[in-house]
Amino acid sequence: MSTIAVTDSSFEDDVLKADKPVLVDFWADWCGPCKMIGPALEEISEELADKVTIAKMDIMANTDTPMQFGVKSIPYLVLFKNGEKVADKLGAAPKSALKGWIEGAL
């Protein structure tokens, strides 16, 4: 399963009410590190499709949700389980580190 795009209006249904954990990548098109981890997150979304959904939220097009979660710098990854924030990670990292962090947080 590829990553999914979420918006301020779809966040509650796609993330908070999801039936499995959701990792949200808060990003922007102008963010170099965000672009660096994008392909890794796509691969991880395929590899861990049965365990987690990986969602991407463009903070320039959607400002309410990032403000609600205090996003001040990107890329900012937040893992949600049962509608609750359970883990977060700021900044880019290699695919192996990202995947290890996700699996450890699940």
Catalytic annotation present for 105: no
Respond yes or no: is residue 34 known to be catalytic: yes
| DSSP letters for 25-70 | EEE-TT-HHHHHHHHHHHHHHHHTTTT-EEEEEETTT--HHHHHTT
End-to-end CA distance of the chain: give it in Å, rounded.
18
Marked catalytic residue, from 23, 34, 44, 77: 34
Of 15, 23, 31, 98, the catalytic one is 31
Question: Among all residues, which ones are annotated catalytic?
Answer: 31, 34
